[in-house]
Amino acid sequence: MTDKQKRLALLSRFDKHYTFKLGHKPRYNKWVEQWSANAIIDSYGLETCYELLEYYFEVVSNPTWSHFAYTADDILEAKEQHIKDTKERAERRKKAKEWLSE
């Protein structure tokens, strides 16, 4: 996949999630925003960007491309923190059940 195809694929995935969540297509200039998409892809890789988009649409009520592009680092950090917290909670829950069953 060429760089241009990757950029447009990421933007199209954003459009798909946006349309599904809000019921209409987003309003932004794809030809301008493809450069910010390229920067995000270069930083994290395409698959990680897809995962970030999914997480972003789960937690944000009013998504925009510019907000996503600007806060991609923070989104990745929050996602990792959420995964870590979920694992720790499951471990604590398991230990508590063992302790209560003794």
Q: Residue ranges of the domains in the chain?
A: 3-101
Look at residue 78 in the predicted model and tell me its pLDDT. 92
Q: Give the helix/strand (H/E) hosting 9.
A: helix 3-22
| Mean pLDDT for all residues in the chain | 92
Look at residue 93 in the predicted model and tell me its pLDDT. 94
Contacts of 79 (CB under 8 A, 6+ apart): 51, 52, 55
Q: Per residue in 19-65, pLDDT tens? A: 999 999 999 999 999 999 999 999 999 999 999 999 999 999 999 99
| Structure-token pair, residue 6 | 């990757």
Please check the confidence at residue 15 and state whether its pLDDT lies above 90. Answer: yes
**Cβ count near 67 (within 10 Å):** 13
Q: Per residue in 71-96, pLDDT tens? A: 999 999 999 999 999 999 999 999 99
CB-based contact 19:54 (threshold 8 Å): no
